[in-house]
Amino acid sequence: MTRIITYLLIVLFSTAPMSICADEKTEFFEKKIRPVLVKHCYECHSAASDEAKGKLLLDFRGGLRKGGDSGPAVVPGKPKQSLILEALRYESFEMPPKKKLPAAVIADFEQWIRQGAVDPRDKALSPAEAAASTWKLQLAERSRWWSLQPLRNVSPPAVRKSAWSKETIDRFVRSALERANLPPATPARAETLLRRLSFVLTGLPPKPEQVQAFSLASSKDAEEALIQLVDELLASPHFGERFARHWMDVVRYTDTYGYEWDTPAKGSWEYRDYLTRAFNDDIGFDQLIREQIAGDLLPQPRINKRAGVNESMIGPMFYHMGEHRHGNSLQFNGIHQEMVNNKIDAFSKAFLAMTVSCARCHDHKLDAISQADYYALAGVFMTPRWTSRLIDAPGKNDAALAKLKRLRAEIHKRIGAAWTAKSGTLMTGPSLRKWAHENRPSLKSAKLGGISWPLAQLLSEKDTTETWSWLTTEWRTTRASRLKANADKFTVLSDFHEPGFPPGWSVEGDGIAHGYVADGAPLVSLTGNTLIDELLPRGYHTHAISSTLPGAVRLPAQNSVPGSVVSLELRGGEWAGHLVVPQNAFQNEPLTFYDASASRKWVSITDVGLKNGVTRVFPELVTASLHPNFPPRTGLAKAGKVTLASQDDGFNKRSWFSLTGIVGHKAGGTPADTLEVFAPLFEGEPAATEQDAWQRIAKWFSGAIDRWAANAATPEDVKLINWLLKQNLLPNQSKDAPNIASLVKQYREVEAGIAFPRSVNSMDERGVASLNYRLNVRGNVDEEGPMIPHNFLEVFVGKHQVAESQGSGRLELAEYLSSRNNPQTARVYVNRVWQSVFGRGIVATPNDFGKLGDQPSHPELLDWLAAQFMKEGWSTKKLVRRLVLSQTFRQSSTVTQAAADRDPDNNLLHHYPTRRLEAEAIRDSLLAVSGRLDPQLFGPPINPPRLVEDAAKRLFSGPLDSNGRRSIYMKMSIMDPPKFLVGFNLPDLKLPTGRRDVTNGPSQALALLNNPLVVQLSEHWAASLVKDGQRTPDERIRVMFIRALGRKPSDKELQRWTEAVSSFSESSKLMTDKAAWAELAHVLFNLKEFIYYR
């Protein structure tokens, strides 16, 4: 408190120029008048207001004295003439309009005016100054809000009925009930508790064997049985799925990016599986905070050896959920601003239960969040590149790669030896001359630059010496002019004579880490009868060892590299390509994919003009798995004549590219070939005779082969040998060399064992400068205001290092939020868990702990739980266990009349509420009860059943029952989410949802009555029932009740259902009448008791 007052004073004294020795009258103004003006008047009557109402400014002395349209607001010493008093008293104007101020405050104003209306605010303020000074005062007041205070050190209250409590939390609950003079409900029956626990912890109904076992165990030792059951359920792999789905609501989980084309959100499902693993392994929530905010930056990432992944790297996929626009802000201003708004909204609601995105256009109306805070945070989230990252555990392929490298070297050696051995017969003047004559038609068109150019010329009828001189001259002059042109126009940034990239370039993936080769590394053939495909020129080839390996080369921001064009010497195939990303709009649509059939060529990427708030444009060269926008919208993935099919989800491509040169330049054009390959031929004396000429050609070739065999090939040698290979002038078939073929076979076997890479859209800020953002005045993207340094919210100033960060500040932000110094995160999270267990949070608005949210029903309990949670390592399972073993949780759902009258909303938890199953739990129950459930965890999403497909938007239909998989594995397409689930309040996939709606409509009745899935599952269940060997209808109905409802039927029910099934049957053999039992199953599925639990 003292701190806040001190702060307030500093603010007061620094925003208004005034004498140091404030006299009493000034002090009166500062204490009694100014705060009222700020709080109640400035919104409409300050320089910062959009338009001062009645042209009246109350934020400086002159404004009050001059007054507005109606005359002076204040006449010093003359209360009667001061219009402001009339207005405050609601005599003429009624100000402030919402509510009259207390009489004491109005009296202060009167006293102040009577005493001369001393007002130190002597200068009119600019709108910015006015906003800042108003904001500082508001912030000081708003930062006193309950949720921003540190956790209190709470001791559990004493209660009269202490025996009731099982867990400490019960004392808080019971104490509140005692104060209200309300009794708790009686304990729930064992079967009710089992069903409740099963849904709360796993989202599935209890299995029949559990029903029997628990009933038996409970009758022996209820306490022990319960503890055992809870531990069993906490250990179930379905616990992770259940709690993952809760968090998926909060982070707006989606498998697609929505908008016009609903393109796939790369790696969403990996994130979904990451959550499931994390909750099953009970990873501390502090760690999950760190991973989701800054998992790519953690000094010690969490490697999951069992799953073979770097879990931490998956976390930042959190940012990428929700809707993404295609295009970029250079085309249409507003695109990146909307995207960052989505991140800020999800981040602040998920971790802080704060609505920071409200402050995009103006300071928050009620909470301690300024507009500057919003843009400070925008800088944090926009600094990194939003791009794909590999999540494979490091070193996954190391052993295989080392083996492949050894094999490649051995193959090189043996082929080298084989070719040199045959060089004497193959590479002779006469044999080449003969070959050239035989291939005359194809050589005839040879142009300058091609290897066959001199050969073709030698075939002409002209004199050999003359031809040779002409060739030499032609070569010399062309070469000289090209050398000069290249030197004049281009700055070589790398020719890869050494491994590595120019400063500021960053790379990713084994394709790059193991992709550098010196001149002449053989590319071993992975299919067919050839030994090698070609020799690789020096540089990076992501497929140098295996085209399964991923690779990315990320260029520094455009406009930061010298020259306005960068040209890259490239080749590639199978959906490798490059993209140019303005301000993280990676769904930008001009995309280039490389055509594998094209030869190596220079590709230019030209700087674009910056506007519309775009400050950075990042080009990336990527293989398919590291392409953040692959597969892009349908029809956009084109390479040569091939278009990616819309059904192709883009997984598991043998994608590759080669990068063999980089130049920078200002004007257009690309470097020309300087014809070095001919140097050995034309340097020295001209050939005297035809024979000599062909001999020279032969030597030209054999020299290349010799050097290659000795591991000393030049770039020119590589060209020559590749040409020879293409002309079939060198033995390269398996049958030519069985001993080499066996090595190639071995190579292929090892290579086939390399798994396809796994990747997610995540973040990468290596080599990236931190970004500050300009405020958008009134949120208008076309009106840029001052630059706001990147930072976290001002209300937490001094507690974290975000502003000091050399990078984005995400790591510092993550550290702060996962530390005990932040009062919000643990509170917000335990409240969410409480909600999932009890149906409603201690704060009923889990995404908003601000003024528009609800206040906690049990504030001390919330603090105690949060503290305990942190003490126990942020363990979700321990927290859940504590809650479900409480007496509070064990209450039945019966309500006394007193409780219904005095606390109808059950704020005090005097019973356990009747809860409807969530959409997923309804569908999963149908699967589980009918016996169709496939309990398999993880994997890519499955298309929901659709009556109509839309290939352009990739809305395809899957099997009616989605192969029996749980609903969490159905594809969540923003444009058309699974209809059955939507009908039961699946949340809007675009938006962070803290608490799901539970609505009730006829369409739900229609779905359960008529949806083919429900009918099919009824039949599926009936089919197994008639085989199960129950002998009487009673017996079978008992089985069905236990399975569907977790309880035995009463005698009355038995009679009722037996009559019903007989009425459904037209057969004399009721027990084998599948149709009749299917009808009965169908009715069970439609029971309210089936979709509600209590």
Out of 947, 1031, 1051, 1068, the residue judged to bind another protein by CB under 8 A: 947
Does residue 643 interact with another protein by CB under 8 A?
no
* CA neighbours closer than 13 Å in the CB half-sphere of residue 303: 10
Q: Which is nearer to another protein, 306 or 1088 (CB)?
A: 1088
> Among 923, 934, 1008, 1000, which residue's Cα sits nearest to residue 245?
923
Secondary structure E strands in 555-655: 565-573, 577-582, 591-593, 601-606, 617-622, 638-639, 642-643
Interface segment toward another protein; rule CB under 8 A; list 284-292, 357-365, 496-504, 821-829 = 357-365
Interface segment toward another protein; rule CB under 8 A; list 197-205, 228-236, 425-433, 905-913 = 905-913
Site string for another protein, 955-994 (x = CB under 8 A): x------------------xxx--x-----x-xx-xxxxx
Site string for another protein, 906-935 (x = CB under 8 A): -----x-xx-x-------------------
Number of Cβ within a 10 Å radius of residue 582: 25
Out of 527, 905, 1027, 1068, the residue judged to bind another protein by CB under 8 A: 905
Q: Least separation, in Å, of the C-beta of 856 and another protein?
A: 15
Interface segment toward another protein; rule CB under 8 A; list 3-11, 19-27, 132-140, 355-363 = 355-363
Does residue 1057 interact with another protein by CB under 8 A?
yes
Applying the rule CB under 8 A, the residues between 988 and 1007 that interact with another protein are 988, 990-1007
Contact of 624 with 655, CB cutoff 8 Å = yes
> Among 650, 658, 622, which residue's Cα sits nearest to residue 543?
658
d(CA 470, CA 660): 32
Does residue 1087 interact with another protein by CB under 8 A?
yes
Applying the rule CB under 8 A, the residues between 200 and 239 that interact with another protein are none
Q: Which is nearer to another protein, 386 or 980 (CB)?
A: 980
Does residue 1064 interact with another protein by CB under 8 A?
yes
Q: Which is nearer to another protein, 80 or 98 (CB)?
A: 98
Does residue 530 interact with another protein by CB under 8 A?
no
Q: Which is nearer to another protein, 757 or 945 (CB)?
A: 945
Helix ranges (H only) for 621-737 are 679-682, 690-709, 715-726
Applying the rule CB under 8 A, the residues between 781 and 820 that interact with another protein are 782
d(CA 518, CA 497): 7
Does residue 953 interact with another protein by CB under 8 A?
yes
Interface segment toward another protein; rule CB under 8 A; list 559-567, 665-673, 792-800, 1078-1086 = 1078-1086
Does residue 608 interact with another protein by CB under 8 A?
no
Q: Which is nearer to another protein, 442 or 1063 (CB)?
A: 1063
Find the angle CA(849)-CA(851)-CA(854) to the nearest 5 degrees.
Answer: 55
Helix, strand and coil in the chain, % to nearest 5: 45, 10, 45
Instruction: Spell 619-648 as b/e; 16+ CB within 10 A means b.
Output: bbbbbbbbbbbbbbbbebbebeeeebebee
Q: Which is nearer to another protein, 562 or 1001 (CB)?
A: 1001
What counts of helices (H) and strands (E) characterise the chain? Answer: 41, 23
Instruction: Name the amino acid, one letter, at 735.
Output: K
Q: Which is nearer to another protein, 3 or 1052 (CB)?
A: 1052
Applying the rule CB under 8 A, the residues between 325 and 354 that interact with another protein are 325, 327, 332-334, 338, 341-342, 345-346, 349
> Among 756, 405, 370, 799, which residue's Cα sits nearest to residue 550?
756
Interface segment toward another protein; rule CB under 8 A; list 252-260, 402-410, 918-926, 1024-1032 = 252-260
Dihedral, CA of residue 585, residue 591, residue 596 and residue 598, to nearest 10:
-140
Greatest extent of the chain over all pairs of C-alpha atoms, in Å: 121
> CA 935: distance to chain centroid?
26
Contact of 389 with 759, CB cutoff 8 Å = yes
d(CA 838, CA 857): 13
Number of Cβ within a 10 Å radius of residue 526: 16
Does residue 260 interact with another protein by CB under 8 A?
yes
d(CA 1092, CA 915): 5
Q: Least separation, in Å, of the C-beta of 807 and another protein?
A: 26
Interface segment toward another protein; rule CB under 8 A; list 132-140, 390-398, 580-588, 1075-1083 = 1075-1083
d(CA 294, CA 315): 7
Site string for another protein, 872-901 (x = CB under 8 A): ---------------------xxx------
Q: How many residues bind another protein (CB under 8 A)?
A: 94
Applying the rule CB under 8 A, the residues between 725 and 784 that interact with another protein are 782
Q: Least separation, in Å, of the C-beta of 336 and another protein?
A: 14
d(CA 117, CA 1019): 85
Q: Which is nearer to another protein, 103 or 852 (CB)?
A: 852
Q: Least separation, in Å, of the C-beta of 917 and another protein?
A: 12
Residue with tokens 């906690």: 856
Out of 597, 604, 1063, 1067, the residue judged to bind another protein by CB under 8 A: 1063
d(CA 230, CA 214): 11
Q: Which is nearer to another protein, 884 or 1078 (CB)?
A: 1078
Applying the rule CB under 8 A, the residues between 481 and 520 that interact with another protein are none
Contact of 930 with 1081, CB cutoff 8 Å = yes
Instruction: Name the amino acid, one letter, at 492.
Output: V
Q: Least separation, in Å, of the C-beta of 895 and another protein?
A: 5
Q: Least separation, in Å, of the C-beta of 315 and another protein?
A: 21
Q: Which is nearer to another protein, 615 or 1086 (CB)?
A: 1086
Q: Least separation, in Å, of the C-beta of 612 and another protein?
A: 10
Q: Least separation, in Å, of the C-beta of 119 and another protein?
A: 34
Contact of 858 with 872, CB cutoff 8 Å = no
Q: Which is nearer to another protein, 298 or 1014 (CB)?
A: 1014
Does residue 357 interact with another protein by CB under 8 A?
yes
Q: Which is nearer to another protein, 880 or 1091 (CB)?
A: 1091
Out of 729, 741, 1023, 1083, the residue judged to bind another protein by CB under 8 A: 1083
DSSP secondary structure, 812-881, as one string: HHHHHHTSTT-HHHHHHHHHHHHHHHHSS-SSS-TT--STTSPPPSSHHHHHHHHHHHHHTTT-HHHHHH
Q: Least separation, in Å, of the C-beta of 1060 and another protein?
A: 5
Q: What is the CA radius of gyration of the chain?
A: 37
Interface segment toward another protein; rule CB under 8 A; list 131-139, 763-771, 921-929, 949-957 = 949-957
Instruction: Name the amino acid, one letter, at 337.
Output: Q
Of the chain, the end-to-end C-alpha distance in Å amounts to 44
Contact of 662 with 566, CB cutoff 8 Å = yes
Q: Which is nearer to another protein, 477 or 1063 (CB)?
A: 1063
Q: Least separation, in Å, of the C-beta of 990 and another protein?
A: 7
Q: Which is nearer to another protein, 199 or 1064 (CB)?
A: 1064
Interface segment toward another protein; rule CB under 8 A; list 10-18, 461-469, 747-755, 1052-1060 = 1052-1060
Applying the rule CB under 8 A, the residues between 838 and 857 that interact with another protein are 844-848, 850, 852-854
Does residue 184 interact with another protein by CB under 8 A?
no
> Among 679, 713, 712, 710, which residue's Cα sits nearest to residue 696?
679
